[in-house]
Structure 1
């Protein structure tokens, strides 16, 4: 692929047009970027400008914050927490897709404590959403102080936790490889579920990284998949065992849930004919493209708001300014 197709995760949803349409920063609409001609980058069958006009040139109402209930709290190891949270039926259904995440905080904390947490599993029959959280700073430690049956606040739903969703959604009855490391095990599970239901032949490589717990064993057992455990990063490079595996085996799609260096190394090393999807490692703060925490800058003065931009993983690092 030598042509980058950019999409917006919220286009055509109840959250579009958003505040970016008011500031001249709409991701797709040329009119709302300040141009005189109509040249949408990716037509969804919905005119964003017309939607803004019909809404009185005001942004649509954003995501709501829901008060939910913690059903179970399990400290898997010193810095690894699992929460099972009871939510509404509508919220459970909206989060039951790959790439879903929420902003989570304790009820007594102000909104500065909102922290993005990916979905690990959704039990849509009982409206229970499961999360695994790595306890790293003040936000996640505040969440860990809550107890079972306490209330917790979720701002949701958000969907851009996976990049390359088009590649993922069109893959069925193919040979697929999923590579996941550390905390990436949790957001990997909705992807595995999606690919499994599409009849794909799935190979799974797991690297526990700094963790000791195989906290997804019970979920993986549902899909009759035997994972291969191996180290995926060795001093910033792909280990020989992983390189050999990629050389011997050919896959139509590779999904990667791990650090950017792992994603970049695999895309660079592997065959260009392979399609990719991966976790979105951008730093999220507002989730609406406003705060700028998620932005990455590229050559040609291009800025990508990765909380909303959907792009093929092959273009995440190409032309990216690191300084």
Structure 2
């Protein structure tokens, strides 16, 4: 029998218990799920049921919305928009950790909310940097953002990366980051955390489909090995990527972060399985569709064998388990 650890990114934080607990759908607490016995799946040092009871059986106050001043907006051929904006200091601190993201929009209409990963959170100057790939109606609307204008944000949210525990566990080792496309943005907080934990870091970048390495400003702050290569070839893991992974593993690397589309993560996991390296720790981008960010709307849900439903805006999992027993119909 295979044991799968279940975790909620919000458990034990100021936003717990949430609406899921209020309506009997908590990811962690058995009693908040309507059970009689206490069988907490992942103890975080706080009793969620007790917190719910103390709060009058109501969820804690949710994330707040802020109107922020745009310090700089860089438009790359209407395909990529990099935005730097001023934000409250506490929010800046909350968004430092790997996997942090926010919802952004330009109007008061909440239908235009877009979940965007944090590229950089500058706690000294209270500046947040994000990068947006311009696709779809919501993203096109963001092209209205200009330097000196304003932006409406909601946050903080933290489940933008799967395998966060693997990132925090990686210390004094060798690590490899494979980043492609817009994945270069959420890669930066992961790289910073790994470097702060005294890891020897190798970063491989595939700029496709962009012409610019828009992460260069932040990568140049660190003395790390950076190279550019094609990671995908006709929807499959490229031969260059396979060689890079193999060489890194022979060098002693035992952790890989994959910052890109699901197909890149899926192919890397399959390649590691093929060469019998299931011992390599992995983290990756959370590419599931986000809408409310609170597990209520169901946009982020995926169904697995055993009639299990996972809410990936909150549920923290190991990347390998995402593609196992998943129902695609």
Taking structure 2 as the reference length, the TM-score comes to: 0.95
SS in 1 for 2:50: helix
Write the distance in 1 (CA, Å) between the matches of 2:47 and 2:152: 33
Q: Hey, what does 2:303 align to over in structure 1?
A: 297
Q: Hey, what does 2:243 align to over in structure 1?
A: 244
Aligned length, in residue pairs: 322
Q: Hey, what does 1:263 align to over in structure 2?
A: 265
Q: Is the 8 A contact 2:30 2:38 kept in 1?
A: yes
Q: Hey, what does 2:116 align to over in structure 1?
A: 117
Task: Name the CA shift for 1:50/1:227 in 2 (closer, same or farther; >3 Å).
Answer: same
Displacement after TM superposition at 1:141 (Å): 1.6
Gaps of 5+ in 1: none
Q: Hey, what does 2:102 align to over in structure 1?
A: 102
Write the distance in 2 (CA, Å) between the matches of 1:216 and 1:172: 24
Moved over 6 A (4+): none
Q: Hey, what does 1:29 align to over in structure 2?
A: 29
Task: Name the CA shift for 1:148/1:245 in 2 (closer, same or farther; >3 Å).
Answer: closer
Write the distance in 1 (CA, Å) between the matches of 2:156 and 2:321: 26
Q: Hey, what does 1:208 align to over in structure 2?
A: 207
Displacement after TM superposition at 1:150 (Å): 1.6
Write the distance in 1 (CA, Å) between the matches of 2:82 and 2:245: 32
Deviations 1:91-115 (A, max 9, x none): 1111111111100011x34001010
Deviations 1:144-184 (A, max 9, x none): 20222222111010000011011101111111000000000
Q: Hey, what does 2:196 align to over in structure 1?
A: 197
Write the distance in 2 (CA, Å) between the matches of 1:156 and 1:192: 22
SS in 2 for 1:85: strand
Write the distance in 2 (CA, Å) between the matches of 1:175 and 1:77: 37
- Name the stretch that deviates more: 8-17 or 134-143: 134-143
1:287 aligns with 2:289: no
Q: Hey, what does 2:234 align to over in structure 1?
A: 235
Q: Is the 8 A contact 1:77 1:213 kept in 2?
A: no
1:162 aligns with 2:161: yes
Write the distance in 1 (CA, Å) between the matches of 2:283 and 2:258: 7
Deviations 1:110-152 (A, max 9, x none): 0010100111111111100001111112211222202222221
SS in 1 for 2:35: coil
SS in 1 for 2:186: helix
Taking structure 1 as the reference length, the TM-score comes to: 0.97
Q: Is the 8 A contact 2:6 2:316 kept in 1?
A: yes
Displacement after TM superposition at 1:208 (Å): 1.0
Displacement after TM superposition at 1:2 (Å): 4.3
Write the distance in 2 (CA, Å) between the matches of 1:119 and 1:2: 34
Q: Hey, what does 1:316 align to over in structure 2?
A: 322
SS in 2 for 1:227: strand
